Structure formats: C-alpha cells, structure tokens
Structure 1
Amino acid sequence: MSTASPGHPVAPVPERLFDDDREQRWRARFTAVRMSRPAWALDAPDRSVYSSNASGTTQVHTWDRATDLHRQVTDRPAGTHFATLPPDGGEVWWFADTDGDEFGHWVAEPFAGLPAGAAPANPLPGVEDGYPAGLDIGRALVAVGTSTDDGTTIWLHRRGAAGPATRVYHHAEDAGVGGLSEDETLLAISHSEHGDSRHPALRVMTVDGDLVAEKSDGPGKGLSPIAFAPVRGDQRLLVGHERRGREELLIWDVATDIETELDLGLPGEIDADFYPDASALLIWHTHAARTRLHRYDLTTGELTELATAPGCIGSADVRPDGTVEYSSSSAAMPSAVRALHPDGTDRRLLTPPGEPAPESVPVEDLWVDGPGGKVHALIARPAGEGPFPAVFALHGGPHAADEDRFSAGRAAWVDAGFAVVEVNYRGSTGYGSVWRDAIEGRPGLTELEDVAAVHDAVVAAGLVDPARTVVEGWSWGGYLALLAAGTQPGRWAGAIGGVPVADYLAAYADEMEQLRAFDRALFGGSPEEVPERYRLASPLTYVGDVRAPVLVLAGENDPRCPIRQIDNYLDALRERADLPYEVARFDAGHGSLVVAETLRHVATEIDFARRALERITVART
C-alpha cells in the first residue's frame, strides 16, 4: 500500500500504460501464478514447502506429494518469503518479521495446519529477535544465527526441549551458521572476526562450543562452508574458496584435516551441494550470465553436464531417488519447475494454476572494453530499428549479476518501446574475484565507469538514442542510479532509484549491522575512519549537479536502505527549485512481495520515464 510523502511531490500511478493488448500482457506477467522450487523434508520427502504469489502476495505454501494437497500456510499483509522443513517434515518453520523489516524470529506450525484460532509456536525459546544469520535444523539439534546492533550470536537448541537455547558463539563482527554435520556433533560457521565480512573465514566447533579447527586464506580470499556430507559419520565439509581468483570448491575432511581442491576445468564460477549418498556433487556452473548444471563423481572425478531444459538454472536439488528438481527460465521464457529423472526424462514438476505468464524477447550479449577490462552487458530490444529510447537497468547487490533469466519488469520496458541495457559492472559476481573486488575503496564511481563505457558503445552502434536514455535500479542499482544522476548528468534524461542508498552517512548510521560490516569491508573502514570515501560515494554529495528529473521509490520499513537517509536526499532535491522530482513511498521493507504494489511500482517508473523523455522532445522542438 502506497503511503503519503509529506512535503514532496508524489509520483502519479497511471491507470493504464497501453491502449492495446500490451496492457493485459505486461500485467499478466506479474499476476500469473509463480511457484518456487519445492524443498522437501529429508526423512519425509513427500512433504515439501515452497513460496507462491497465488494469493496476490508471496506467501509460504506446503505440498503433500502423496495426496497432492497444497496448503497456504501464511497470510501476512507484507508477505512471507523464508520457510523450511525439519528432517521429519512434522512442522513448517517460517521467519516472522514486522511489515517486511526483516527483524524477527522463527516460528513453527504443524505441517497439516493449526487448529482454528491457534498461533504458531516459538520453537527456539531464549533466542533473541534479530536479523536472520543462518539456520540448520537437524534431527535432534537446531543451529540458528541472529544479528543485532551488538553483532552476531549463534545458538544451539535441542528440538522440543523446554529450556532455553544455548549461546555457543558471539562476536561484534558479522558471522553466520554454515551447517551441522550429519551426526550433529560438529557445527561449521563463517565469521569475519578479522574485520572483513566480504571475505569470511571458516570455523568448525563442537556443538558444545569447543574449537575443532579454523581456516582462513588471508586477506581478500574468502572461505565459505556450504554443507557437510549427508552421511552419518562422514565429516567431509564442502567449502567454497577463491584461491585461483574465482569461486571454486574444495572438500575438507575435518576428521583428518585433509583438503582436496576440485579443479573442474570449467570457465566462470562454481557452486555445489552433495548428492544424498555423498557419492557426487550437483554443480552449478555460472559463465557469461548463464547457469547450467553438472554432476561431479567424487570417486572417478567424472564431470557430466545434465540434460536439463534450455534456459538459465535458478535453484536445484537432488531427490533421494536421484531425480534432480530444478527451476529454469530465460529472458524470453518464464520460469518453470522441472524434474530430470535418472532415466533421462525431463518434464514439468508443477504447473501453476491459471494462465501462464506471456513470453518476452531474448537478450543479446555485448562485450565492451572498459577501464577495468571487458564489461559484459545484456540487451533486450523492442521491434523496429534503433536508435531506441533506452533504460539502463542496473542490478542490486552489488555482489550479484544480471543473467539470461525471465524478468517481468524487463519485459514491460520492452513493451513500452525501450531498449533495456543491463550491465554487469565491476563488483558483479560471476566474473572472478578481481572483478568483484575492484570496487573496494571506491564503490559507486567505479561501477559507473563501466556503465559509461557500455553507454558509449550502444550509442556508437546506433542502438540507443543518447538524448532519450534513463538510468534505473533497485537497492544497490537504485543507489547507482542516483549517483549517476549527479556524477554523469549529461548522460541521462531521467533517473529512477528504488529503495536506494541516497545519503551514505545517514544510511550507515541507520542500516542493519550486517550491512554496516559489509560497508566497513567495502570502504576500508567506517565513516569516522575514512570519511572522504563515504562522501565521494554518496549521491547526496552531488545533488546540486543533477540535471534530469528524479524518481525515488522507498519502503517505510526498509532496514537496508532506511527511510531517513532517503528523506535527506529528497529534502535536498526540494531545495532545487529548478529540478522536477517525485517520490513513491510504500508500507513495506526493501521492496514489496505484494503483486499489486509491484504493478504500481512498474507503472509509476515507466510513466515517469515517458514524461521525462517528453521534456526532451519539447526541448528539441
């Protein structure tokens, strides 16, 4: 639900974007029912949990495969996203925050549902509320992490016990639960006691809190626990490392302290998980904005690409019978949940009710010489010949990447006649550690150098009209859009920042501690220690140089990009009597899980961009 914005012009929400069949099409891509890949209980694999927007808001659902019964578990106004099942499948655990602010605690209710009038139970007595920092539910024990302004605490609790959970770890710096060993005698955690949460160290302790082993690869090289082998008595831990300048894998036998690095010979970056019998790994291989699946035999070393459906893999896991269930999509084709069976047959696992989402156009790859090396971009273009009006849609993170996946938002911009340019700037994942870490000490301005290089290239190629180009993004992308408006004013006809960092000093003061730790690692210190770096990275610093209209969309309860620092930026815009700007505030956190609200956001953005370009047209004439 949108909220008022005292003292600032509120962005209008158009009733329609189109006067033809495009109106139904763009809305249908958002309202079509979507389902995440169902995750199942380890010892009761017929019991599954997934999220879906079937009610109009993303909520938690269960699926009993034996009876094919689906049940909506949550019905909270701001939506619910995080849920899991314990091994026995007897309960559904979901994270309860307040209005999307991400601060709360885990609750549990029976898989079959609660009696009328009953409320979910607190399965973790004594655990303080906080931001989630990992959860692993074993057969006997639960390991859970919470993050507050005081740092990260990790707790262990015996399932069903009446007494409070036991605190086994606490530190002022960021940390998280990695996982319990299958016999529940060991606990792996990631931590940043060395002060760099972007490159964590790895610790294994007993469930009594005693140190077993510690691993660190030193400055600039992270180690992340992925999972213990799912076989009782097997103390091998699958670990992510970056010793060769990209995300790869090793297996650490904690019992013998023997490491085995896995050099799979694949370009790009690697993630994985164990098959149920620990004989093989399911490999996610990401390269050039596409992710595919492989099977790696731990005995023979044989690597086999799995014959999944065309598209970019989202999530995947292996059933007890060896079936690989996965989600996939492409820019042109909406997401589907599928099952690849051991006999090689591949078919849809679930078909959501109602009409499927309409398809869109594919993306094209573009590689551009930038100041830090080749920059990879994806381009979706409307029908006809360029140069087109364009939107540079900048991804969040910053440690994330745009991929060849379906996006209803991208498709709406294309329907509106815009070429969509997505840039995997320095800071993006999937292109190696050096590329990801190149923004350290100079975030924001570094990424925008790559955006400028791509902008120059598409203009020179005749694809994009330089006078009709808008910069847009959410979260870190929204931050970059506002920073671009002030530091590259000659490039943009409009700037749209969704849930952005707008005033970095105020954002640091108000944001969740996990992000303060991230910022300290990214900038090389706190604002008190390196104030000039924060000043140079803050959009507020350049508000006097902005020349194009600005739209800001902001969540009232956002713990990541809090509302006060956005108000500071808007107040500074208000002092610019010569500059049009608008704001759309909504009653949620870092984005919205409500379909109707998302529709309003997209309609507001495209309408704002059209009006910004109309100003250019009028000025030309």
Structure 2
Amino acid sequence: MAKYVHFGLAFAMLAAGHPTKAQESAAQKFGAREDVRQVSLSPDGKRVAMLRATKGASTALFVAELTAGAAPKPILASSGRPDQIDECRWSTSTQLVCTISTLMMQNGRRLGFSRVVTLNADGSGLKELSGETRDAIGGAAQYGGDVLDFLADGDQGGAVLMTRSYGTQQSTGTLLAARLGGLGVERIDTSTLRRQQIEKPNPDASEYISDGHGEIRVMGITPTSNEGMLKSRTSYFYRKAGQRGWQPLSTLTYNGGLTAGFNPYVVDRALNAVYGFDSHNGRKALYRIALDGSMKRELVLENPDVDVDALIQVGRQRRVVGASFATDKRRAVFFDPELQALASSLARALPNETIVEFVDASADEQRLVLFAGSDVDPGRFYLFDRTSKKLTEILPARPQLSGVMLAPVKAITFKASDGTTIPGYLTVPPGSDGKNIPAIVMPHGGPEARDEWGFDWLSQFFANRGFAVLQPNFRGSSGYGTAWFQKNGFQSWRTAVGDVNDAGRYLLSSGIAAPGKIAILGWSYGGYAALQSAVLDPDLFKAIVAIAPVTDLETLRTERAAYVTYAIEDARIGHGPHVREGSPAQNAGRIKVPVLLIHGDQDQNVGVGESRLMASQLRAAGGKVDYIEYKGLTHQLDDADVRADVLDKSDTFINSAFQAKR
C-alpha cells in the first residue's frame, strides 16, 4: 500500500464503494461523480493509468495492463476532503508523475497548495518532484510547479521539465544581502531526483512554454505593483531556436474578464512557430507566429459566429493537429489529413456518440485513447490500435447511468425583450411532447463561460424527474465574441440577468412550461443570476435554488483583497451603482418566492460567507429561505453522497414550492 504524507497531505488506498443499481435512487445515479476522471496511456502502449471516483469524495489512481481479463489495480488515493489527486501521466512505461493538491490555513487564510510527485506503476517508490518550496520566513509555498515536458520516449529513464517557484532567499554572509526568487524551470530525473536548472528564477515570470522536446521558447512576464499585486498585462517573449536571448512576441491585456492581444499556447518545433489565440473581427481566432525572427503571422482558423477556443493535441509532445469551436455543437477542424480521416471513421463507427476526443497516445502514436459521448450518452473511453484497426472499450464514464433513458438536448433560440436572439439548449423529459410541464431555467456559471451541447448531469436529472430544462447562453457569456460578452455578467448584470429572465418567459409563452410551474436553478454565477432574477422580476419564477452563489459584489471583491490578482478582480467587478444594485443580498426585500441556498464551507471560488449573508438578509426581510451547508467541501461539492443529497433536496424543494402556489 502506497502512502504519502507531506504538508498535511495524506494519500492511502481507499476501497471503492457504491450501492447496487437496484438500491440507487435517481438522485444517486445522476449525482454519482464520473467513474473515470482521467486516462493516461503508457509510452509503450501497454498500460493505462486512470483516476477513478471511489466512495464519497475520494479518488484513486488505478493502473491496468491492456490485456484481456486484466483487472485495474489501485495504487494511490486521496480523500477529497480536502486533498485531491488532480492529474497523473506516465513519465516512462513504468513510472507515473502526479499533481496533488490540498487546502491549508496559512497566516489566517485558507489557501490552496499543490505538489508534484512520482511513483512506480505498482505504487512503490513515491517521491516528491517539487523543489524546495519555502519562502524567506519559512512558510510553505503554495505552488509546487507544472510539468512542461515528459522527456523520455520509452524505458531509458524518465525526466521531466518542470516550472519551479523559488521562494525569496536572503544571505547575510556577505556585505550585500542576496535575494533570489521567482519562477524558473528545472530538468528533473524522475528516478534519481537529480535536478538541473534550465531557466533561472525571474521574479516577474508567470509562464514558460517549451517546444515539447525540452527547450524553452516562450516566456510570459506579468509585472507587479509596489503593493505586490499583479498588473493587468502579460508581455510575452520568444527565443530563436538554439539561442538564449529573448525577443518581444506580444502583449496580452486583461480588462473586466476580456483579454486583448496574442495569447501563446503551444510551440511547434517542426514549424518553428507558436500557436495562440487573438481577436479577429471581434471574435477569438487561432493564429500561428513564426519564431525565426520574421514574426510572420498567419490566421489558421476563424469562425464568423463564435470563438475558436480550443486546440486539438496528440502524442507525448502534445503536438497541435487541429482546433475546435462550439456553434450549436462543438466542431473540430483537423490540420492533419490522416487524423481527420481517422476521426471521421471513428465517428461513423460510434453512431450514437457524436463527440469524439483524442485523450492520449503511445510514444509512436500507434495506440490512442479516445473519449466518445453525446447528449444521451455520458461517454466512455476507448483504446484504438491504428495497426490492427481495433477499437476496444476501456470503461464508461458513468456506469451508474447504464440502462437509464436520457433526454435528447436540442439547440434552440429565443428572443430577448430588446429583440436580440439568444441561443440556448433545451432538454425535455424522454418521451414527453415538451408541452405544459414543470420547467427550470438553468443559467451557467462563470460568467466567463458558456453551455455546450452534450451530457449534463444536472439537466438530465431534472429531465428524468419530469422537468423541461433551458440553459441560456445569455449576453455576458464567453464564446460569442467581444460584443456578446459586453462588460461581463457582473458589470452588465441587467442585460445578462434580463436574458435569463427572458428564457423563463419563452418557456411560458411557447407553452413548454405549465403556468405557475417554473423555477430557476444555478451554480456559482448561475446561482447569482438565479437570485438576481427575482430582483428584476419578483413574480416570474416560483422557486429559486442557488448553489455556491455570489450574493454580494462588494463581498466578492473583499474576498480577493489578500490575493495578488486583486487588481484584476477589482477591475472585473468594477465600481459604481451596479455593485449595490446588482447584489442580491442588498436587495433581498424584492425576493418574494422560496429560496434554497446550498454551499460548501471550504469553497475558495465563492466564500461560504456569501450564502450565510444571503440567508440572513432574506430572513431579515421576511423571506422564506432554506440554507444547507456541507462541511469539508469546496466549490464543486465533489462528493457523490452530497451531490445526490443536493439533487434530492432541490427536487423536493421546487415541487413543494409549486404545490404551495396552487
């Protein structure tokens, strides 16, 4: 049994435990976490490593031989309260590298910490790869580094290229005190832990991008103010191949959640160029810039309606083979003709699973791990052998839903009150005609995000329970360009929440929602929109469920005050009348319908104090509010039992509110 203890982290084997399907309620089936959370294929293509959900909030790392009848073996686990295994990948065919994280109290604040470790495929030999991570006053640094490259192609010994956060060190043995700190890069042998400094620490460095083969080609510099706050711009520099000097590449600025300027992502060594995203006709597009000194800039892919926002990468070096964007569904464009043909043939071979993603590959790229799923299939992982053309299922993502009929998701549009056409996704109960039934509007989180076509456990649960669910991509959502984003969903809350309310009016006017049976439910920003919807129109929705919601914009600002990103977050929230007018907790007297508030007490995204404040304000205003707080959980409430409880209580609460309105 592998065990690792450091900085309060404790990892040990945890037994999987799930009730039988006959015992499971709908809430348990839909609330269950994804069974397979990540899959990595060994360089020789003979083993897979899988992060799998186990009992409650726990997660375990399993390793399986890719031979018939071989059972996955657990080698490492985390409790999820609050320690987590975030990601594991193979450094060699016998050795893994994992990133782990936890929450700890430091200087009176709850902070997130990460570390990178390595271990053998049987769970033995667990060692820490993160470098010395203490600052000048002896406190533990939060950031344990990121793996930039896996430098071994087989079993010749593993090495990784990693960023390292150097604490500020002081030496008083000389006439002048020496100070060294910042982000640097090291090459680390994963077997011997021998370290070689590749990039000296730079106090303003925020990012490094390698060429996939161990050479750093791009560096991001984000300066800080005299108070230590990050400024709202990052300057990128590049190197010519084989040289050490830095030359200017681009400047990226941040303003209210929007970025402007070329944002580099991946260096292609063969092309001697960097791929990144920049604005084109008001929308994000994919560009490629030569790193040979010419700065030749090419527009690689754009879409006139939506942002091009994702790269498709394969192989150990994560080479770019395409990009994608989401219109009504996510569309992939491959630059590699062979992979385009392969993706098309796989889509035909999996007729009910229209989303196909490349997950990982062996060193020679002859064996590929794929994920395929759809709106009515939560998805499953496959192994594809390009030599034999054989496709083999590894595991389903959500086995608890096997045999459960899921509801098709339809892309729709509706008109906002000012005539703007708003896109969204409508899910209706399986077999229903979608008319005169209970309905829920479900705004997404973010707000710098958007909903996409595919499986969604929340909307599918409520469709299973007889509700129509509409997920609007209101103005303030990302993915539709600068004009659609406006000033973000907080500063432009009247437009964003107005669109959300117009989604409810559409459900009523179209005859989908039965009169008096329409509710709103949201998580994070979606919870904010759910609460603020009643501030704009107290009579529209008959029940509000807000999970981990922002409830007061000034409180949200205060929560960020101690962090280096405060200036950026301060600009994102903005100043002016909208702060008070756009805070549900400051307008609780306008909310006349029952409210269910749900929050985890370890939430770092939105402090639990926001829901406590909202509950207090509603009670003071004479409102009806139920408040549920889950101990030991963060923003995602990533615990199967808790999620089942959330679903069950939300369903009961909404139906009770509907009954009370009769």
Asked whether the two chains share a fold, i.e. TM above 0.5, the reply is yes
Give the distance between the partners of 2:393 and 2:386, measured in 1 at CA: 14
Secondary structure of the 2:488 match is coil
CA contact (8 A) 1:169 1:209 kept: no
Is it true that 1:226 corresponds to 2:235 in the alignment? no
Give the distance between the partners of 2:166 and 2:619, measured in 1 at CA: 36
Partner of 2:395: 351
Per-residue CA deviations over 1:513-566 (Å, capped at 9, x if unaligned) read 37645533434x5xxxx2434223322221121111111111111111012233
- CA distance 1:596–1:583, change in 2 (3 Å): closer
- Give the aligned residue type for 1:241: D
Within 5 Å, give how 1:444-455 maps onto structure 2: 444-455=493-504
Per-residue CA deviations over 1:360-408 (Å, capped at 9, x if unaligned) read 1101222123348321111111225522221111111212222222123
Give the distance between the partners of 2:359 and 2:328, measured in 1 at CA: 17
User: Which of residues 301, 316, 320 is equivalent to 1:263?
Assistant: 301
Give the distance between the partners of 1:501 and 1:133, measured in 2 at CA: 30
Question: Shift in Å at residue 111 of structure 1?
Answer: 2.9
- Give the aligned residue type for 1:255: D
- Give the aligned residue type for 2:102: D
Is it true that 1:311 corresponds to 2:358 in the alignment? no
Question: Shift in Å at residue 22 of structure 1?
Answer: 11
Within 5 Å, give how 1:521-560 maps onto structure 2: 521-523=571-573, 525=574, 530-560=575-605
Give the distance between the partners of 1:342 and 1:266, measured in 2 at CA: 35
CA contact (8 A) 1:106 1:124 kept: no
- CA distance 1:146–1:61, change in 2 (3 Å): same
Question: Shift in Å at residue 500 of structure 1?
Answer: 1.2
Partner of 1:156: 185
Percent identical residues: 14
Give the distance between the partners of 2:316 and 2:600, measured in 1 at CA: 44
- CA distance 1:227–1:58, change in 2 (3 Å): farther
Partner of 2:425: 378
Give the distance between the partners of 1:197 and 1:531, measured in 2 at CA: 22
Question: Shift in Å at residue 33 of structure 1?
Answer: 6.1
Question: Shift in Å at residue 228 of structure 1?
Answer: 1.9
- CA distance 1:77–1:264, change in 2 (3 Å): closer
CA contact (8 A) 2:27 2:645 kept: no
Q: CA RMSD in A?
A: 4.0
User: Which of residues 524, 527, 536 is equivalent to 1:475?
Assistant: 524
Question: Shift in Å at residue 222 of structure 1?
Answer: 4.1
- Give the aligned residue type for 1:59: T
Secondary structure of the 1:439 match is coil
Give the distance between the partners of 1:522 and 1:582, measured in 2 at CA: 28
Is it true that 1:38 corresponds to 2:39 in the alignment? yes
Per-residue CA deviations over 1:271-320 (Å, capped at 9, x if unaligned) read 2244549998433423334224332139x999996342333356645553
Partner of 2:25: 24
User: Which of residues 382, 390, 411 is equivalent to 1:365?
Assistant: 411
Question: Shift in Å at residue 192 of structure 1?
Answer: 5.6
Within 5 Å, give how 1:83-94 maps onto structure 2: 83-85=87-89, 87-88=91-92, 90-94=95-99
Within 5 Å, give how 1:457-472 maps onto structure 2: 457-472=506-521
- CA distance 1:544–1:30, change in 2 (3 Å): closer
Give the distance between the partners of 1:506 and 1:44, measured in 2 at CA: 52
Give the distance between the partners of 2:166 and 2:419, measured in 1 at CA: 35
Partner of 1:212: 247
Give the distance between the partners of 1:379 and 1:196, measured in 2 at CA: 41
Give the distance between the partners of 1:61 and 1:22, measured in 2 at CA: 27
- Give the aligned residue type for 1:259: R
Partner of 2:324: 285
- The number of residues matched between the two structures is 581
If the length of structure 2 is used for normalisation, what is the TM-score? Answer: 0.76
Name structure 1 gaps, 5 residues minimum: 1-19
- Give the aligned residue type for 1:80: Q
Give the distance between the partners of 2:533 and 2:341, measured in 1 at CA: 44
Give the distance between the partners of 2:307 and 2:281, measured in 1 at CA: 11
- CA distance 1:431–1:484, change in 2 (3 Å): same
Within 5 Å, give how 1:581-600 maps onto structure 2: 581-600=626-645
User: Which of residues 201, 225, 238 is equivalent to 1:168?
Assistant: 201
- Give the aligned residue type for 1:451: V
User: Which of residues 185, 205, 216 is equivalent to 1:186?
Assistant: 216
Partner of 1:429: 478
Give the distance between the partners of 1:296 and 1:404, measured in 2 at CA: 24
- CA distance 1:301–1:571, change in 2 (3 Å): closer
Within 5 Å, give how 1:41-60 maps onto structure 2: 43=43, 45-57=45-57, 59-60=59-60
If the length of structure 1 is used for normalisation, what is the TM-score? Answer: 0.81
Question: Shift in Å at residue 580 of structure 1?
Answer: 3.5
Give the distance between the partners of 2:610 and 2:624, measured in 1 at CA: 20
CA contact (8 A) 1:296 1:303 kept: no
Give the distance between the partners of 1:433 and 1:63, measured in 2 at CA: 44
Once the two structures are overlaid, the 10-residue window that deviates more, 368-377 or 128-137, is: 128-137
Give the distance between the partners of 2:522 and 2:564, measured in 1 at CA: 22
CA contact (8 A) 2:161 2:214 kept: no
Name structure 2 gaps, 5 residues minimum: 1-20, 135-139, 152-158, 168-180
Give the distance between the partners of 2:622 and 2:244, measured in 1 at CA: 60
Is it true that 1:97 corresponds to 2:141 in the alignment? no
Is it true that 1:251 corresponds to 2:292 in the alignment? no
Partner of 1:487: 536
Question: Shift in Å at residue 497 of structure 1?
Answer: 1.1
Within 5 Å, give how 1:190-205 maps onto structure 2: 202-204=236-238
Secondary structure of the 2:118 match is strand
Question: Shift in Å at residue 572 of structure 1?
Answer: 1.3
Partner of 2:132: 125
Give the distance between the partners of 1:163 and 1:186, measured in 2 at CA: 14
- Give the aligned residue type for 2:324: H
Secondary structure of the 1:547 match is coil
Partner of 2:74: 71
Secondary structure of the 2:372 match is strand
Give the distance between the partners of 2:647 and 2:607, measured in 1 at CA: 21
Give the distance between the partners of 1:315 and 1:517, measured in 2 at CA: 38
Question: Shift in Å at residue 495 of structure 1?
Answer: 1.1
Q: Which has the higher contact order (CA 8 A, sep 6+)?
A: 1
CA contact (8 A) 1:426 1:447 kept: yes
Question: Shift in Å at residue 510 of structure 1?
Answer: 1.8
